[in-house]
Amino acid sequence: MHLRLTAQWASRVGANRARVNKATGAAVRDRLIRIRDRWAADVRVDTSHYQQTVAATEPEMTTPTSGRIQPPHEDYFVYNEYGTYRMSARPSMRQAIAAEKADFYQTIEGVIKGILG
């Protein structure tokens, strides 16, 4: 399980494709870092080690316009995020994504409009 964030657009960028790729790639990386920081701040676990591990997780750019964050200690992450039959869910990553989602769309739209005019 991981978070993947990808910016896609219509093919009308034409000759500006390289500029759009660079700008949207930077916006994707910036948003992944913001999600990671919000996620680390909102982690609801008893150990500060898990919170520090989340904060140290670096986003990985998988393509020029796509990146991901791989949760540390994935098995432990799933139990905290979704809960178990004995423990209620303590979501933090999903809340971080939801908080950044609308602003991300506006950022990407602004980047592309700024390049295409």
If phi > 0 it is left, if psi is from -120 to 50 it is alpha, else beta; for residue 73 that is left
From residue 51, alpha-carbon distances to 20, 38, 98 in Å are 34, 11, 19
pLDDT digits (tens, 9 = 90+) for 18-47: 888 888 888 889 998 998 888 888 877 666
Cβ contacts of residue 76 below 8 Å, gap of 6+?
A: 50
Q: How confident is the model at residue 94 (pLDDT cuts 50, 70, 90)?
A: confident
pTM for this model (two decimals): 0.79
